[in-house]
A = this chain, B = another copy of it.
Amino acid sequence: MELLWDGNNVKAGDSQSITALVKGCYGENKEGVILLEPEEALYLVDVRGAECRDAKGKKLSFNALASKFKEKKLLARYLTYKDWRDRGLFIRPEAEERGTYGRSVALEYKRGELVLDVPDFEGVFFADDLITTVDNAEVGGVLYNEYWLGQMGTYKAAHRGTISKFDVFETLLLLDSGKLELDVKRKDVFSEAKKRIEYFEDVYNVYWEWREAGYVVKTGFKFGTHFRIYFPGAKPGGGKGWTHSKHVLHVFPRKSSLIISEWARAIRVAHSVKKTFILAIPGKGKVRKGHVDFALYHRKGQGVETPKNGKPSFLMLSLSEDEYLSGEELAASLKTCAERELDLLVAIADRESSVTYYLIKRIGLPGSRYEYYEIEWMQP
């Protein structure tokens, strides 16, 4: 296959190359000439044995050609493009797929409610540990057994001891319910937590929203996330043995910026323990559209969908391991996806050019103010 670098673009003009490119859904046909995107041209040179020459007939190596395109995150885009193509699947520039495709359906989560029926009680707050202890075993027992608030005795061994411990989220919720009388003021509890837990206000707002919707929300420490959650009505005993959570909940504040390797680590732990990872993006933020890189065609029955016979399944955000992503950027990319009614597929090229995929699907939680998404590791 013969390609030409004209000083601005890579293109193909001979009929044999054009036929091959059209068949493979590469490039854009403009007045009898195929114009290629940088990633497409690099792929053809790297993998398909294409030869690219400049106007003087000089052959350009991969590096010589890539050097023409030293644009923003070229390699992250190229490596994720290559990975999708190597799987025998089709991929097009996102700018060519700006319709609406009806392929994103929100996952509905049911709503319950939280009505606390306990007498008033007292507690002592330990600022250094962000924990409240309550030595009223009767109230502590009801809160633990009926609402799964606090921890009697020891985790999974409520009989070991007579004291209940409440974490700082539970402490604030109980203060706000008017049931708990503490040795310190609410604002002091809040400010201690703010000192220690990053974006505490955002994290607490998410906690409150799920508790208010009747869910049980406990620490996700064992699973590397802010919280683990149980559906409304869950109790520690659950009737038969211990109740296991099936979902973890992690808060990604709009203003926080996370290196991709850390972002992925949180999802990996959840995946390794077979729990569904829910990402919360609290707050409203600016509602502008965000960046996406490619439109992805996926499988269909035994074959594959193509730009000729089908429509895209996802939009791809191409990232590399050492890149940063903020909650605001992700929220904006997700907004673009929502408008085109496609789910977002985050593709991360690591330092070894191996690509990991995370599929992000919208969650509908009735009455919620924030955005929630299920994220799952996917092998396309």
Assess whether A143 is interfacial by the CB under 8 Å rule. Answer: no
Whether B62 and A154, one on each chain, are in contact in the complex, defined by CB atoms closer than 8 angstroms, is no
B-side contacts of A269, CB under 8 Å: 224, 265, 268-269, 272
Instruction: Tell me the smallest distance from the CB of A89 to a CB of chain B, in Å.
Output: 14
Whether B155 and A224, one on each chain, are in contact in the complex, defined by CB atoms closer than 8 angstroms, is no
Specify how many copies of this chain sit in the oligomer: 2
Assess whether A333 is interfacial by the CB under 8 Å rule. Answer: no
Q: How far is the CA of A128 from the CA of B324 in the complex (A)?
A: 11
Q: Of the candidates B86, B154, B265, B349, which one forms a contact with A224 in the assembled complex, judged by CB atoms under 8 Å apart?
A: B265
Assess whether A352 is interfacial by the CB under 8 Å rule. Answer: yes
Q: How far is the CA of A348 from the CA of B155 in the complex (A)?
A: 13
Assess whether A63 is interfacial by the CB under 8 Å rule. Answer: yes
B-side contacts of A123, CB under 8 Å: 63
Chain A contact residues, majority secondary structure? mixed
Q: How far is the CA of A154 from the CA of B82 in the complex (A)?
A: 9
Q: Given A135-B63, A197-B322, are A353 and B126 neighbors across the interface (CB < 8 Å)?
A: no
B-side contacts of A83, CB under 8 Å: 154
Whether A61 and B135, one on each chain, are in contact in the complex, defined by CB atoms closer than 8 angstroms, is yes
Assess whether A167 is interfacial by the CB under 8 Å rule. Answer: yes
Whether B47 and A222, one on each chain, are in contact in the complex, defined by CB atoms closer than 8 angstroms, is no
Q: Which residues of A in the span 79-113 have a Cβ within 8 Å of any Cβ on B? A: 79, 82-83, 86
A-B contacts, 11 of them at CB < 8 A, read A62-B135, A63-B122, A66-B133, A73-B128, A73-B129, A82-B160, A165-B353, A167-B351, A218-B352, A219-B351, A221-B261
